[in-house]
Amino acid sequence: MATLPDVHVGKRLFVGLAVPPAANLGIGPAEIRGSAFIEGPLDVGSPIFAPGESNVCISRCTNPDAIPLPVSIVKVRNTPGIPALPTDVVVGDPAGPVGVTVFCGPSFFTVTLLPHSIFSTYKS
């Protein structure tokens, strides 16, 4: 396996083959700087996942260069000065219901459906 030093991508990054082309990343002069397409699957954190387990697998960081180790596995933060939107974090697809399974230890959490939420009419 070849090792590269730091790699800077000034426009778009493509890993694998985008067929059809990833038009949402922009085409020609409309290319979106800093965007990426990864054909996947994609493992982040630690390669502890079984083949075919998921398209995107995320686990705790085990990189010894990361000092201190990150506290969270996934964090979503809004940009200061920009108001929060009901679609800041979307789980599922507005075009149709999807299954969601959560495995966790004893936890307290609240799921709130806002009146203008696109999911508020969905009945489980």
State pLDDT tens for residues 7-33.
999 999 999 998 998 999 999 999 999
Give the per-residue pLDDT at 117.
Answer: 52
Spatial distance between the Cα atoms of 32 and 29, rounded to a whole number of angstroms: 9
Give the per-residue pLDDT at 116.
Answer: 53
Give the per-residue pLDDT at 43.
Answer: 93
- Tens of pLDDT along 41-65? 999 998 889 999 999 999 999 899 9
As given in the structure block, the two tokens for residue 115 are 């009146």
Is the model's pLDDT at 76 over the cut of 50? yes
- Tens of pLDDT along 87-122? 888 888 878 788 888 888 887 777 666 555 555 444
64, 69, 73, 75 alpha-carbon torsion, rounded to 10°: -130
> Which of 102 and 123 is assigned the larger pLDDT?
102
Residue 112: Cβ within 10 Å count: 7
Asked if 73 contacts 60 with a C-beta cutoff of 8 angstroms, the reply is: yes
Q: What predicted TM-score, i.e. pTM, was given to this entire model?
A: 0.70
The DSSP string of 30-54 is G--TTEEEE-S-EEES---PPTTS-
